[in-house]
């Protein structure tokens, strides 16, 4: 089946630290990959996406590269800010399908 596994949280970092949140997937078809972010009390917002192997999605200083050989889509940011504190979700959808499959989410807290 199709599934997404994220690194377990919570993750706590200091401001300006380097961030990596790991995401790996299994897929029966050819997936598109997404990172969503959820700020407290809000719905999910699309952070970035990649739709084919070796694509790099980027937004707001965050990046993730679609690695087909390692079935991974790790989220990175070079210097985090307190405002990046949120829950991050990795997700996939299979070509021809209309449903997203989510990882369990990783809660990130950035301390000043």
Partner 1 sequence: DAGITQSPRHKVTETGTPVTLRCHQTENHRYMYWYRQDPGHGLRLIHYSYGVKDTDKGEVSDGYSVSRSKTEDFLLTLESATSSQTSVYFCAIKPGQGSNQPQHFGDGTRLSIL
Phi/psi-derived region of residue 96, left when phi > 0, alpha when psi is between -120 and 50, beta in every other case: left
Residue from 24, 51, 71, 85 that binds partner 1 (CB under 8 A)?
51
Q: Does 100 bind partner 1 (CB under 8 A)?
A: yes
Let me know if 71 is exposed, middle or buried by CB neighbors in 10 A (0-12, 13-18, 19+): middle
107 in helix, strand or coil?
strand
* Piece of 19-27, 36-44, 60-68, 76-84 that binds partner 1 (CB under 8 A): 36-44
Residue from 23, 103, 108, 110 that binds partner 1 (CB under 8 A)?
103
Cα–Cα distance list, 103 to 4, 24, 84, 111 (Å) = 5, 9, 19, 25
Q: Does 34 bind partner 1 (CB under 8 A)?
A: yes
- With beta carbons less than 8 A apart as the criterion, state whether 108 and 9 touch: yes
To partner 1, the closest distance from the beta carbon of 86 in angstroms equals 14
Q: Does 88 bind partner 1 (CB under 8 A)?
A: no
Binding positions for partner 1, rule: CB under 8 A:
32, 34, 36, 41-46, 49, 51, 89, 93-100, 102-105
């Amino acid at each position: 089946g199709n599934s997404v596994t994220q690194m377990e949280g919570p993750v706590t970092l200091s401001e300006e630290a380097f961030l990596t949140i790991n995401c790996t997937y299994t897929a029966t078809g050819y997936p598109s990959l997404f990172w969503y972010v959820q700020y407290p009390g809000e719905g999910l917002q699309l952070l970035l996406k990649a739709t084919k192997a070796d694509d790099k999605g980027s937004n707001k200083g965050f990046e993730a590269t679609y690695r087909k050989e390692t079935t991974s889509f790790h989220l990175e940011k070079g210097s985090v800010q307190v405002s990046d504190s949120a829950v991050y979700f990795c997700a996939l959808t299979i070509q021809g399908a209309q449903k997203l499959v989510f990882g369990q989410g990783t809660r990130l807290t950035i301390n000043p």
